[in-house]
Amino acid sequence: AVAPDFTTMGALAGKPMKVNLKAMLAKGPVVLYFYPKAFTSGCTMEAHAFAEATADFAKAGATVLGMSNDDLPTLQKFSTAECRDKFAVAAATKDVIKAYDVSLKVAGVSSGLTKRTSYVIAKNGKIVMVHSDMDYKDHVKLTLEAVQKLKKG
């Protein structure tokens, strides 16, 4: 499947920025990971893990982007405090949440939050890997393995 394109607002190192998937893909593969809520324990530990692996993703030619439905001021703080200024986080709009099928439902009703789901998107825009698990622990390892395989061809 082709990854749905989007443009939204985000933050890197506390600075607001426009985030566009197509522009990011022009530089190489993108690891797009959705997390439920900034500053919650699992999301904080996941952000730390992605921050620690940023150099490994860069070596494989990939860019990491975290997404949640948090507001821009929260994303600005999270990008510095928990992402450690290593990668951008962006606002997942209702359209993006629907397009990527990451709505977290409670008793069958959308909670407004996103499921913890990671996508690896090849430079050509094709989704090559999806991992959906509310436990954050394997997201970095599995997405890194996928981008390293892409680099090897």
Phi, psi of 126 (to 5 degrees): -85, 135
Amino acid at 8: T
- 43 belongs to the catalytic site: yes
Give me the catalytic one of 12, 32, 43, 51: 43
Report d(CA 127, CA 31) in Å as an integer: 10
Record the tokens describing residue 20, joined without a space.
């566009």
Q: What is the maximum span of the chain, computed from C-alpha positions, in angstroms?
A: 43
CA angle 115, 21, 87 (to 5 degrees): 70
Report d(CA 125, CA 84) in Å as an integer: 27
Q: Which residues are catalytic?
A: 43
